[in-house]
Amino acid sequence: MLLQLSKGLYLESLSIELLLLAIWKEALDACNLFMDASHDGNFSESSPEHFLPKTDDSSLNAARGLDFSRPVSVCSWVESGFMKAYDRAEKISHILRKSYG
């Protein structure tokens, strides 16, 4: 019974990580699309003020080194999030393969 419960928790964890990985992948695709469009000049007339939320409190983002006014910073953050989600999913998958064959 305990073995089945443990396996069920790992399967649930893997399902959640795969869902998060899919979300990060969508964000990564959006970043790549935006960066490609900005290199093509499609957003040359746009400025960050037109598409970024207005907030007065940026201390949390500054502490993370994230600057929403710089698309490169956001894309770097998204790439990092994607890789972390991938690593977590891979670790859980490895545990399931090793433990439950």
Query: What are the pLDDT digits (tens) for 16-27?
Result: 999 999 999 999
pLDDT of 44 over the 90 cut: no
- What does the mean pLDDT of the chain come to? 79
Report the b/e string of 41-80 with b at 16+ CB within 10 A: eeeeeeeeeeeeeeeeeeeebeeeeebeeebeebbebbee
- Is 83:28 a contact under the CB 8 Å cutoff? no
Count of other CB atoms within 10 angstroms of residue 101? 5
**Considering only 9-18, 28-37, 92-101, which range has the smallest mean pLDDT?**
92-101
Residues contacting 95, CB < 8 A, separation 6+: 10
**pLDDT tens column, 30-40:** 999 988 888 76
Please give the pLDDT value at position 56. Answer: 54
| pLDDT beyond 50 at 84 | yes
Neighbours of 84 (CB within 10 A): 13
Whether pTM exceeds 0.85: no
